[in-house]
Structure 1
């Protein structure tokens, strides 16, 4: 798959998934690149970038030097899936953490490896997302504010409005991905993480 070169500069998210090891896929170590998430989302935008960064920084804060345990992380989102692009954020976070509502893997006959009932929308909190370790109940709250550094709607409007200039339409794909690149380059400005109880 062809993609902008800056994708390769973005830190990967590495987790351990015991289901993967149990089923003989590998040793359980899984790594997700931003390009992997773009493939599953079908596009790269400020929302997908933000979801990736919230997972990257949130899991770092939650697990420290340990590998995050995929399938044992509860994910809660403040907004309902149909509000703005929260559903797209939830899909990205589900791909990375393994958390699902009622549609995920239900586990083997013993009940182990169940992924259902670990992803929730519309949860009251002063953050965009909360990640909870199911083994320790430790939590981190993560918020994403891309408007601190970019204005995705302004770039989009420059290419779709009836009076859009031809040069703006032609340059839109490059300008749009440069905007995504700016989000990643300023992750400390757009992502905030707070540990909770």
Structure 2
């Protein structure tokens, strides 16, 4: 598989997963997630997937400043409904990293390790778009993503429309994908620590 080279430059998210440790799936339960894992899950790389990855990484770093985040021990609530806008896509990426799942999630072993019902929607009273809550101490952080901070190149829209209309010129396709992924790169690399791109409360 060949991916854009900047994927490798995006900082990873390292988690501790008690279930993975218990079942011997990962030594000491340590699992590392990279942006390419989110891309594989979603099947594409776009500002939404990049934003969800970055937001999750930023929130976990703030929730666990001196220790590895505990996968499967974090509740996640979205203000939007699952089918509204890009909430479902973002939830998939957030769930990949945190282990939080809805009703179809892993039910646990003898009352332990459950990931079911850790991912919810339509929490209308949230101060931000998504809330992450540690189950061990109840500490919560709410986060909002402001992708408008990283605007697309003005050539992107017209190129997209030409391709959607059926144009098959390889040069047009190459120009579009280059501009599209450059915006993703700017989100993840140039604005990786931008407090106005991912705001925490």
TM-score normalised by structure 2 residue count: 0.90
Tell me the equivalent position of 2:199: 192
Matched residue count: 193
The answer as to whether partners of 1:130 and 1:140 remain within 8 angstroms in 2 is: yes
The answer as to whether partners of 1:160 and 1:169 remain within 8 angstroms in 2 is: no
Pair 1:142-2:143 in alignment: yes
CA RMSD of superposed structures (Å): 2.0
Q: For 1:32-77, what per-residue CA distance to the aligned partner results, in whole angstroms no more than 9, with x for missing partners?
A: 0001111111110000001001110000111111110000000011
Tell me the equivalent position of 1:180: 184
Q: How far has the Cα of 1:155 moved from its partner?
A: 2.3
Q: How far apart are the structure 2 equivalents of 1:83 and 1:127? A: 16
Q: How far has the Cα of 1:152 moved from its partner?
A: 8.0
Pair 1:103-2:104 in alignment: yes
The answer as to whether partners of 2:13 and 2:32 remain within 8 angstroms in 1 is: yes
Where 1:140 maps in the other structure, the secondary structure is: strand
Q: For 1:101-143, what per-residue CA distance to the aligned partner results, in whole angstroms no more than 9, with x for missing partners?
A: 10111011x1101100110111121211110000000001111
The answer as to whether partners of 1:150 and 1:182 remain within 8 angstroms in 2 is: no
Gaps of 5+ in 2: none
Tell me the equivalent position of 1:56: 57
TM-score normalised by structure 1 residue count: 0.91
With over 3 angstroms needed to count, the CA separation of the structure-2 counterparts of 1:99 and 1:152, relative to structure 1, is: farther
Name the stretch that deviates more: 144-153 or 91-100.
Answer: 144-153
Equivalent positions of 1:32-51 (< 5 A) are 32-51=33-52
